[in-house]
């Protein structure tokens, strides 16, 4: 669209979605983030059809071999192809990021809406519990929960999800409080709409943008947390591949096979950077103050 066409257009017909999308598209770092995330998502999805060796297949003739034509990222301590394990490990990392944040959103947002909209006792109870959970450092809470639930990828996701829930309760509550005194919510109440309808039709859509930003940034945190738990042995269990547990093994072979530690770290860094850039970009694009 040219500038002339834009200025000829009446302002009211410019849909907010278009404006947001345009701002987002022009946000260079957000696009870099988007590309990084898309790359890892594609790799993770394509893992079963890519022409790569079985990530669990050991080859005692090729133990700790440096990167070569046969093994682009080298092999590990029992001769497994590192690149294949990296690609399958992307599945575990992304899954952990998305599933744990979904858990946090699905529990946190409704609780935040209840606390913010109804106030009173429900708010007092929910807010105090939120503060209590927020007081325990995120990773310590996740480690403790994962320890009590038992080590597995699913339990790590639950532990990270629960640890991230209070962030979403607090954010949603604050947003709902600022939205519920808006005129359109008053009007909806005045014409006698039932509360559930007000909540889903008028409150929820207006509190979603900051939640979306927070969710994107929390996926980044959750991926690091999953890698940390797997690194400690509380996440994905061997022989299933995971970037965190690969790093844990790699630290024992730093001298002989430094490449084993290089790739998983670089990948975690890039995918986390991707989600962070994407989140920052979304925040800028969705911020109505900056036109």
Q: Which residues bind another protein (CB under 8 A)?
A: 128-129, 131-133, 135-141, 143-145, 147-148, 150, 220, 224, 227-228, 231-234, 247, 250-251, 254-255, 258, 261-262, 264-265, 268-269, 272-273, 276-277, 280
CB of 227 to another protein, least distance (A): 6
CB of 184 to another protein, least distance (A): 31
Distance CA 66, CA 256 (A): 9
* DSSP symbols for 146-194: HHHH-SSHHHHHHHHHHHHHHHHHHHHHHHHHHHTTSHHHHHHHHTT--
Report the residue number, 141 or 164, with the smaller CB distance to another protein.
Answer: 141
DSSP 65: P
Report the residue number, 203 or 223, with the smaller CB distance to another protein.
Answer: 223
CB of 256 to another protein, least distance (A): 10
The gap from C-alpha 47 to its chain's centroid, in whole angstroms, comes to: 20
**103: exposed, middle or buried (Cβ count in 10 Å: 0-12, 13-18, 19+):** buried
Report the residue number, 11 or 135, with the smaller CB distance to another protein.
Answer: 135
CA distances to 147, 218, 236, 244 from 232, rounded to whole Å, are 11, 21, 10, 8
CB of 134 to another protein, least distance (A): 8
Report the residue number, 87 or 159, with the smaller CB distance to another protein.
Answer: 159
Distance CA 175, CA 213 (A): 13
18: tokens are: 């278009």
CB of 164 to another protein, least distance (A): 13
Report the residue number, 66 or 140, with the smaller CB distance to another protein.
Answer: 140
Place of tokens 């744990």: 100
């Amino acid at each position: 669209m040219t500038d002339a066409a834009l200025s000829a257009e009446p302002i009211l017909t410019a849909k907010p979605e278009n404006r947001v999308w345009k701002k987002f598209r022009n946000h260079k770092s957000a696009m870099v983030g988007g590309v990084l995330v898309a790359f890892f998502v594609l790799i993770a999805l394509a893992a079963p059809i890519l022409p790569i060796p079985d990530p669990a297949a050991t080859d005692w003739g090729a133990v700790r071999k440096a990167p070569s034509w046969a093994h682009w990222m080298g092999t590990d301590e029992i001769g497994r192809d590192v690149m294949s394990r990296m690609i399958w490990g992307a599945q575990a990392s992304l899954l952990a990021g998305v599933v744990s944040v979904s858990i946090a959103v699905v529990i946190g947002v409704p609780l935040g809406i209840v606390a913010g909209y109804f106030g009173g006792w429900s708010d007092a109870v929910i807010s105090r519990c939120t503060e209590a959970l927020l007081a325990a450092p995120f990773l310590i809470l996740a480690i403790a929960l994962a320890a009590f639930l038992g080590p597995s990828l699913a339990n790590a996701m639950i532990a990270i999800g629960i640890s991230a829930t209070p962030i979403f309760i607090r954010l949603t509550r604050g947003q709902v409080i600022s939205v519920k005194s808006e005129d359109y919510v008053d009007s909806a109440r005045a014409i006698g709409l039932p509360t559930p309808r007000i909540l889903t039709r008028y409150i929820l859509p207006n509190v979603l943008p900051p939640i979306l930003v927070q969710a994107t940034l929390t996926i980044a945190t959750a991926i690091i947390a999953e890698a940390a738990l797997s690194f400690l042995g509380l996440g994905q269990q061997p022989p299933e591949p995971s970037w965190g547990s690969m790093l844990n093994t790699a630290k024992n072979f730093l001298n002989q096979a430094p490449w084993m530690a290089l790739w998983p770290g670089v990948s975690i860094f890039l995918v986390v950077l991707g989600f962070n850039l994407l989140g920052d970009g979304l925040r800028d694009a969705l911020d109505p103050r900056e036109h």
